[in-house]
Amino acid sequence: MAEEKTNVMRLLDQKKIPYTPRQYDVSDGALDGVTAARRLGVAPETCFKTLVTVGASKKNHVFVIPVEKELDLKAAARAAGEKSVEMLKQAQLLPLTGYVHGGCSPIGMKKRFDTVIDHSAQALEEMTVSAGKIGRQVTLAPQALATFVGASYAPISKEA
């Protein structure tokens, strides 16, 4: 039986960007990124989460960081050219991006936001990000992702 494609996968297919679809079990409710990486059999430093913030300017920004790290808000603000940034409230995520918490992807949001990928991705051949649904991921080349979403790289994460 063929695996159902997510919108993220369809967008990557349209642009002929190579990726590997991945799926993991979430029936036990374990939604954290480190558990996802373990279940996918990928190193946590190659599995990235997508975080959405709001800056002092009221502009939204997207940050993509390794799942075992946390967003360094000061570094993120610098990278975004903002005085400060704070995490978007969870209730605002779906209306703003079209994605639910735990299934947010930097690919295919309702509108394009300034996106910054943690600089650690530049050293990787492949990185894994959400495919837009909880339990679904895609693995692709970091530069392909950065080019597709118009992202820049910066040191934006710190130890959790």
49-79 confidence digits (pLDDT tens) = 999 999 999 999 999 999 999 999 999 999 9
- Phi and psi, residue 132, nearest 5°: 95, 0
Q: Give the C-alpha distances (Å, rounded to integers) separating 96 from 51, 52, 102.
A: 12, 10, 15
Please provide the size of the chain in residues: 160
Task: Identify the CATH number of the domain in which residue 57 sits.
Answer: 3.90.960.10
How does DSSP classify residue 47? B
In a domain, 54, yes or no: yes
What pLDDT, on the 0 to 100 scale, is given for residue 1?
39
pLDDT for 28: 86
Residue 2 lies in a domain: no
Indicate whether 84 belongs to any domain.
Answer: yes
CB-side neighbour CA atoms (13 Å) of 138: 29
46/125 Cα distance (integer angstroms): 9
CA 71 centroid distance within chain = 12
Query: Which spans in the chain are helix H?
Result: 7-14, 33-40, 73-80, 90-97, 142-149
Q: What is the dihedral of CA 155, 137, 92, 152, to 10 degrees?
A: 30
pLDDT score of 27: 87
Q: Give the domain range for residue 145.
A: 7-159
Tell me what pLDDT residue 30 has: 75
Residue ranges of the chain with per-residue pLDDT less than 70: 1-3
Model confidence, pTM: 0.95
Look at residue 1 and tell me if it is in a domain.
Answer: no
| Total number of domains constituting the chain | 1
Q: How far apart are CA 56 and CA 82, in angstroms?
A: 6
Closest by CA to 110, choosing from 57, 77, 62, 153, is 62
